[in-house]
Amino acid sequence: GSLFCLNSSRSSRHIVYPKHQAGHIGKQAGHLGSQAFYPGGQHSYLVPPAGAAGIPVQNQPGRPAGVPWMPAPPPPLNCPPGLEYLSQIDMILIHQQIELLEVLFSFESSNVYDIKNSFGQRIYFAAEDTNFCTRNCCGRSRPFTLRITDNVGREVITLERPLRCNCCCCPCCLQEIEIQAPPGVPVGYVTQTWHPCLTKFTIKNQNREDVLKISGPCIVCSCFAGVDFEITSLDEQTVVGRISKHWSGLLREAFTDADNFGIQFPRDLDVKLKAVMIGACFLIDYMFFERTR
């Protein structure tokens, strides 16, 4: 609605329209430009100042300060606990944090990620749960459990990746990741599809039924440019979203494996499928952009 304010000098009412609400995203899934996530170049997405209209500031005790958390919207029907944050957005930004010990000593440390909306508000916090030997012996092929928590530290999504061969020449042992929301309850899977040239994945629901496809380039390389993986219908005729790996700058790309991703999907898509797309993004990160020690 609109807000009415009384002008005492003229005794008249003026209508003041509120600015954009926090749940509004500018670009829709049908407009998938290469700069949809970072308008004007890398890392240039706009973060409104603290207290800006429509963007409440929320920092929870015991969680990292400095970045406001997205307020929890009312949960829709049949929504797993914690996924209500995904019900009002059509874009997600994923930033991997830089680990100084990893840069200095070349030991692979557990990956940590911030998951934000298009306004820069943190939605989730993700942390890899693996041991030292697994990370440094198996490299980018390593199995892992990735735990995604909300602003009060509640684990809302769990990603489970088994140990699989990371060679496209072995079609019998391709990559896979299971998405659970809440933990212990599978809501979907992402499986690698064998192809002699292209990078392909299939998004499946909790019953392992094919729902969507993901198609990437023949050569996955992020040298001085981003890499796009299109999310399409099963017949690959309709683009419904995109997972993009963004170029993070020469120094960051050369000396770290801290990557930046963007995910775009229809706002009215089932929140469970949105969670599965987050899992697909992490699988792509580990397969193609994780630095091998």
Residues 25, 189: Cα–Cα separation, whole Å: 27
Q: Which residues of 127-156 are buried (b: 16+ CB within 10 A; e: fewer)?
A: ebebeeeebeebebbbebebbbbbbeeebb
240 phi, psi to nearest 5 deg: -110, -5
pTM of the complete model beyond 0.75: no
Tell me how far apart the alpha carbons of residues 259 and 241 are, in angstroms, rounded to a whole number. Answer: 20
Rounded distance between C-alpha atoms, residue 101 and residue 108, angstroms = 9
**CA–CA gap between residue 187 and residue 229 (Å, rounded):** 22
Residue by residue, pLDDT tens for the chain (293 residues) are: 444 333 444 444 344 434 434 444 334 444 444 444 443 333 333 333 333 334 344 444 445 557 888 888 888 888 999 999 999 999 999 998 876 665 565 666 788 999 999 898 999 999 999 878 877 787 777 889 999 999 889 999 999 999 876 665 566 678 899 999 999 999 999 999 988 788 899 999 999 999 999 998 877 766 666 789 999 999 999 999 999 987 765 555 454 556 789 999 999 999 999 999 999 999 999 888 876 55
Burial class of residue 92 (count of CB atoms within 10 Å of its CB; 0-12, 13-18, 19+) = buried
Paired with 149 in beta bridges are 125, 155
Sign of the dihedral through C-alpha 150, 155, 156, 162: positive
Alpha-carbon span 291 to 286, nearest angstrom? 9
